[in-house]
Amino acid sequence: MKTYDVAIIGGGPAGLSAALVLARARRSTIVFDAGAPRNAYSPGVYGFPSRDGIPPATLKATVRGELASYGCVNSVASKVMRFESDKRHRYVIEDDRGRLTRARMIILAMGMVDVFPSWHGFADLWGKDIMHCAHCHGWEMRDRHWGVVADNVQTIASASQYRTWTDRVTVLADPGLAIPNATFSRLSDANIDIVQCRIRGLVRSADGKLRGVRTNNDNEFPCETLVYSPPQRAPELLRAVRIKTHKNGRIVVNDRNETNLSRVFAIGDITPGPQNALAAAAEGAAIAKKIIPDLVLATTVRNGERFDMRLSEQQLARSA
């Protein structure tokens, strides 16, 4: 069973960015990629300097090619099922093929799981005519009629920001919300209507494009773009290894992005904060840099072979 310095679980922008920094620091790294990224539905990664609009799969392939040139990163297409600490300060990781791998540290970078509504055709339009982040996709949706799905007052109050991309915005608010008069007034001043309704399905044109939404009362409200943030759940792995999470499913981390398990870190969409490729990549690089000194203290190279300094110190103590 091979031992790596770091095992990265997740092969998206966060995980690959961390792997690149670790590779350049000559740390042996394995990246587990289950092949189910959140941005698989999107035609492009937007707002990423030098890669604006690049298809997600192309971005991954590009970074993997860069990693291959360093010779110390192994990428495997498998899903991690569980891991546990052994008696030598390492983690034993088991994937869905039953293969075992050891690592001194683990970085969780697999992202959250979006829970799609039952609206027919939602998956076909997700990342295209339906978006969760205007900063990511707003330019591509500019000047369309936007419908903003809101299940809380904060989302309604922030709807005026969308006027920077389009002059036609309608808020589709949950009928159970008590909306303050001041919010109605503020959005009215921004020429934004608020319709309280419960969405039952999507209305599509003959060519499959979004044309509007249908409510429980069988009314139709027109829109060409839907702004909607689906609920999310944490990956099953977190329950299997007892990682502590917030109520929304994201992992609880300290100022070093370390979880409640020692030497297990979390980065990207699965941690509190913004969910976009650029932020995830930046966090991946930052955390990789933070753990490199710890790896240097834990391991060194003597006569061309790497050994564990903690074990060496114990042996020295016994021989003293």
Instruction: Give the residue from 193, 227, 261 where a domain finishes.
Output: 227
- Domain range for 130 is 122-227
Domain boundary among 175, 200, 227: 227
Q: What is the pTM of this model?
A: 0.89
Residue 317: per-residue pLDDT:
42
What is the pLDDT, as a whole number, of residue 298? 76
Query: Do 104 and 240 sit in the same domain of this protein?
Result: yes
Cβ–Cβ < 8 Å for 31, 16: yes
Q: What span, in angstroms and rounded, lies between the C-alpha atoms of 73 and 269?
A: 23
Q: Do residues 40 and 124 make contact, with C-beta atoms less than 8 angstroms apart? A: no
- Predicted pLDDT of residue 306: 55
- Work out how many domains the chain is built from and give that number: 2
11 and 60 housed in the same domain:
yes
- Supply the pLDDT for residue 234: 94
Give me the pLDDT at residue 305, please. Answer: 53
- Whether 30 and 167 map to the same domain: the answer is no
How confident is the model at residue 149, as a pLDDT? 97
Block means of pLDDT (10 residues each) for the chain, 320 residues, are 95 97 97 91 93 95 96 96 88 96 97 93 94 94 97 95 97 95 94 94 95 93 96 94 95 96 96 92 97 85 50 41
Q: Which of 198, 227, 256 is the last residue of a domain?
A: 227
CATH classification of the domain holding 176: 3.50.50.60
At 39 the pLDDT is: 87
- Spatial separation of the C-alpha atoms in residues 45 and 35, rounded to whole Å: 17
pLDDT at 307: 53
Check whether residue 107 and residue 156 sit in a common domain: no
